[in-house]
Amino acid sequence: MPIAGKSNILKNMGFLITRTAAGLSRYPLHRHDVFEIVCYLAGDGIMRSDAGDAAFCKGMLLIIPPGCTHGSLSEAPFSNICVTTTRLSQIFREGHTVAKCR
């Protein structure tokens, strides 16, 4: 679900922000044709991807490149915010940094 009041402005800038539904413990494998930044807000589990499995926990930030199949799996509910953007390559070229969310 888009974050109220912010999604239209950010979408016009090339960003879309969504948050997982409450009580979610599994998100199916899928892929995008743009970069996705995932920040886990609660829970822990496994992010499955073409690059291999990676454990996730609250506060972890993952950057998923375009075309990478990925999905999340947890024994208990987790929550995350996902930012998709066509501008990530430009952001890195301009020298911006991405840090762990905490």
Instruction: List the one residue out of 52, 44, 86 whose CA is nearest residue 70.
Output: 52
Instruction: State if pTM tops 0.85.
Output: no
Q: Across-strand partners of 40? A: 80
In tens, the pLDDT along 20-31 reads 888 999 999 999
Q: What single-letter amino acid sits at 20?
A: T
How many other CB atoms are there within 10 angstroms of residue 44's CB atom?
14
Architecture of the domain spanning 7-93: Sandwich (2.60)
Q: What is the pLDDT of residues 81-101, one digit of tens each?
A: 998 877 666 665 555 444 443
- When pLDDT is cut at 50, 70 and 90, the band that residue 40 belongs to is very high
Question: If we measure between CA atoms, which residue out of 102, 19, 101, 17 comes closest to residue 61?
Answer: 101
